[in-house]
Chain A
Amino acid sequence: MKQAEKLPVKEDSKVVKFFKRNNIILILILVYAAAALLASPGLLGGKKNTFFTVSNTYDLLTLVGVYGILAMGLTFVFIVGGIDLSIGYQVAFCAAIFAVMARSGVNVILAMVITLVCGCAVGYLNGTIVTRIGIPPLIGTLAVMTALKGIVYIICPDSLSVGSATLAGNTLSAVYKLGGAITLPVILIVILTVVFTIFLKYTVTGSNFYITGGNFEAGMLSGINPNRLSRIAYTLGGFCSALCGLLLCFRTNTATYNMGDGIDITAICAIVVGGVKMQGGRGNMAMCIMGVAVIQIITNVMNKLHYSTAVVALVTGIVVILVLILDRFTSGRDVLDD
């Protein structure tokens, strides 16, 4: 019997496959190159390139550090198939309680620990609402967001200064900017990226996050208790928000009630640009950081070129939509189709 002829199926090479799955790498390079080029004197930059300088690169790294930490927390929540709308107010809430404690003379280390615990507690609360009561994450975290907004406005009606004259204020500002590229956010994000990546890839709990988000039923049947894992993910999200709140508070030595406004939406957009799937089950810390970097580069370069916030918003929105469309056509149809 003649063997059935093999149909000439066009297989993508390994390299092409890798970049199709991780198109964020190409997007990041492209955006960075475009930013550096556009800011050069010949094109849009004025007398000299203010974007492509050493000091601005340091600033950029610090920004990626601060907002990357927040986005990493959200990445956990996305991987288990959830969403957390309250992270913005979690940041403001944690910064506010830290400022209150630091002002009243509580030991700084103790105050930091308490703040991180508070962040975890809010995250755990979100997880409980979503998994134990069964409220859809969108609504549950919207309710928590609304309530936190009220609490933040009560704790911190305007802005609370930690006081740069105090020992605490001095030490923290000094630690925050150690000099050059080495700032506290950069150190933290490097450490956390390594720790979280190992956690997601090489621990049982971490790798089960993907099953929780990818196929809840299968997770349930294989006995991994996806609800518990979801709660862990939300708690980690709260921890990261608290850390981001602390960093923002260190930067200026103040906590303001509107500290978290908008950074939640930016974080969501950033990790989606990075390729983390809102439907759950896909994403990692590298994608998250690169997504944050893309958004920060766009914002930074447009600020340097003196465009108004309107243009920044417009370009950010267009980039988010273009990335979604690109993703739709490069990834398998199962990912986005119902």
Chain B
Amino acid sequence: MNDKKGLKKITGIENFGIYLIMLAFIVVVILIVGPDKFLNVKNLTSLVRSQAVICIIAVAATLVMITGNIDLSVGWMVGFASVIAAAHSDNAFLAIVLPIIACALCGALNGILVGGLKLNAFITTLGTMYVFEGIAYLYGEGKSLSGGATNSAILKALGQSSILFIPTPVWVLAAVAVIFWFILRKTTFGAKIYAVGANKTAARFSGVSPGKTVFLAYLLTGCAVGLAGSIMYARVMSTQIYAGSGYEFDVLSGIVLGGTSVTGGKGNIPGTVLGVIFIGILGNGFTLMGLSANVQYIAQGIILLVAVSADIMKERRA
């Protein structure tokens, strides 16, 4: 008994168990790869640049997860957004604003179905995933998806330049993360999100409208996904309609590794960022070690299991 109390006194560490496991993995990877190979500016910049898009989506989708719902349509949504950006690559304003508007509409559709009509989030967003896939193909087929000389300079800067040695997409990610962190932690809307996820009935009785809260969470996710789509195109100035397919599961893995609960009510933005970056470091490390992506998939699956079960064991003991 006393031992347990002693352990509980250092709950600061107990709570960070999942992050410690990730940190341990990262240290091992770095040691195997060799610090000089991994920890150089070129490698780290390419690492964060490639993870920025998924990270922006994951940060936004964390909101939906905390409400106890899920968004599986983000993968095709971001592909759709990148195609819109490609079609308007000569005008930076349109290439950034149109994807955001389109994805906001997509998010609103999810929000109406899940929040308003109270349909099952998992199946509904699988359905809308198909819908967005269809729309993306209908819109994008036959369009040139890699910009030529007509690319807008601003758009290029958004995807490929660096400010103070840090790639611009990472600055955008930082801004999005801070905004969403602020929304979650410092506004009543954020408190409502946690309340709805923790106990919908209790939230309703205390005057929170779960439907409206869920709707807004999906809407905000849509907006962020649209922005991520622009960056996805701008990063390499070309895209594919199916470029984002499968992202939904990477996003989900990252969010869960970051300590967000799938049943809702628990989660945070910094954790999600760490979770996604962790997956990126893992992939990067494996590539540097000369191992194929296949081994990385196996490791990623095992780590997801280990990290989540460690979290569950800890909760059970508490």
Q: Which residues of A contact B (CB under 8 A)?
A: 83, 85, 129, 133-136, 138-140, 142-151, 153-154, 265, 268-269, 272, 278-279, 308-318, 320-321, 324-325, 328, 336-338
Task: Decide if B135 touches A139 in the complex (CB within 8 Å).
Answer: no
Q: Does chain A have a CB within 8 A of B256? A: yes
Among B134, B200, B312, find the residue whose CB has the most chain A CB atoms closer than 10 A. Answer: B134
- A310-B119 in contact given A149-B297, A150-B296 (Cβ < 8 Å): no
Contact of B141 among A150, A151, A308 (CB under 8 A): A308
Residue in A139, A265, A336 whose CB lies within 8 Å of B118 = A336
Cα-based distance from A110 to B121 in the complex (angstroms): 43
Do A139 and B119 have beta carbons less than 8 Å apart?
Answer: no
Chain B residues numbered 249-276 whose CB sits less than 8 Å from any CB in chain A? 249, 252-253, 256, 262-263
Chain A residues with CB under 8 Å of B70's CB are 138
Complex interface: stretch among B1-9, B34-42, B52-60, B301-309: B301-309
B149 CB–A CB distance under 8 Å:
no
Contacts of A309 in B (CB 8 A): 137
A272 to B123, CA, bound (A): 8
Q: Contact between A313 and B137 (Cβ–Cβ < 8 Å)? A: yes
Q: Contact between A268 and B295 (Cβ–Cβ < 8 Å)?
A: no
Contacts of A316 in B (CB 8 A): 130
* Known interface pairs A142-B304, A321-B113, A324-B124; A153-B294 also in contact (CB < 8 Å): yes
Contacts of B141 in A (CB 8 A): 308, 310
- Whole-angstrom distance from the CB of A125 to the nearest CB of chain B? 10
CB closest chain-B residue, reference A86: B301
- From known contacts A310-B134, A313-B133, infer whether A139 and B123 are also in contact, taking CB-CB under 8 Å: no
State in angstroms the CA–CA spacing of A140 and B252 once bound together. Answer: 12
Shortest C-beta distance, A162 to chain B (Å), equals 22
Residues of A near B126 (CB, < 8 A) are 265, 268-269, 320
In the docked arrangement, what's the CA distance between A278 and B72, Å?
A: 16
Q: How long is the Cα–Cα vector from A146 to B303 in the complex, in angstroms?
A: 10
Q: Are B301 and A146 in contact (CB under 8 A)?
A: yes
- Contact present for A328 and B119 (CB under 8 Å): yes
Nearest 5 interchain pairs by C-beta:
A314-B134, A147-B301, A317-B130, A150-B297, A310-B137
Give the residue of A135, A146, A151 whose beta carbon is less than 8 angstroms from that of B253.
A146
| Docked CA distance A146–B246 (Å) | 11
Q: How far is the CA of A134 from the CA of B311 in the complex (A)?
A: 10
Hey, which chain B residues are within 8 Å of A321, CB to CB?
113, 119, 124, 127-128, 131
Which residues from chain A contact B305 at a C-beta distance below 8 Å?
129, 133, 135, 140, 143-144
Q: Which of A135, A320, A336, A338 contacts B130 (CB 8 A)?
A: A320
Complex-state Cα separation, A268 to B127, whole angstroms: 10
Beyond the given A133-B312, A310-B137, please list 5 additional residue pairs across the A-B interface where CB-CB is below 8 A. Answer: A142-B249, A146-B253, A312-B134, A321-B131, A336-B118
Interface string of B92-111 (1 = CB under 8 A from A): 00000000000000000000
| Chain B contacts for A150, CB-based, 8 A | 293-301
Give A204 Cβ to nearest chain B Cβ, in Å. 30
- Whether A337 touches B297, Cβ cut-off 8 Å, given contacts A139-B262, A143-B305, A311-B138, is no
Q: List 23 A-B contacts (CB under 8 A).
A: A129-B305, A138-B122, A138-B252, A138-B262, A139-B256, A139-B262, A140-B308, A142-B253, A143-B301, A143-B304, A145-B301, A149-B297, A150-B299, A269-B130, A278-B123, A310-B135, A313-B131, A320-B126, A324-B113, A324-B127, A328-B117, A338-B200, A338-B201
A146/B134 contact (C-beta < 8 A), A154-B294, A321-B127 known: no
Q: Which among A139, A148, A154 has the greatest number of chain B C-beta atoms within 10 A?
A: A139
Instruction: Assess whether B133 is in contact with A325, with CB atoms less than 8 Å apart.
Output: no
A214 to chain B, nearest CB (A): 16
User: Does B123 contact A268, Cβ atoms closer than 8 Å?
Assistant: yes
How far is the CB of B13 from the nearest CB of chain A, in Å? Answer: 22
Q: Is the CB of A313 within 8 A of B124?
A: no
- Which A residue's beta carbon lies closest to that of B263? A136
Which chain A positions have C-beta within 8 A of B113? 321, 324-325
Q: Which residues of B contact A318 (CB under 8 A)?
A: 127, 131
Instruction: Judge whether B129 is part of the interface by a CB distance below 8 angstroms.
Output: yes
A135 touching B201 by the CB < 8 A rule?
no
Partner of A147, one of B134, B252, B297: B297
In the assembled complex, the CB of A178 is this many whole angstroms from the nearest CB of chain B, namely: 34
Chain B residues within an 8 Å CB radius of A272: 123
- Kindly list chain A residues whose C-beta atoms are within 8 Å of the C-beta of B252: 138-139, 142
Could you tell me the distance in whole angstroms from the C-beta of B101 to the nearest C-beta in chain A? 20
A residues within 8 A CB of B201?
338
Most-contacted residue by chain A among B123, B137, B263 (CB, 10 A):
B123
B120 within 8 A of A: yes
Please determine whether A147 and B123 come into contact, CB atoms closer than 8 angstroms.
Answer: no
Residues of B within 8 A of A337 (CB): 118
What is the CA–CA distance of A145 and B136 in the complex, to the nearest angstrom? 26
Q: Is the CB of B131 within 8 A of A317?
A: yes
Chain B residues in 8 Å Cβ range of A133: 305, 309, 312
CB distance from B258 to the nearest CB of A (A): 12
Residues of the B chain whose Cβ atoms lie less than 8 Å from the Cβ of A146: 249, 253, 297-298, 300-301, 304
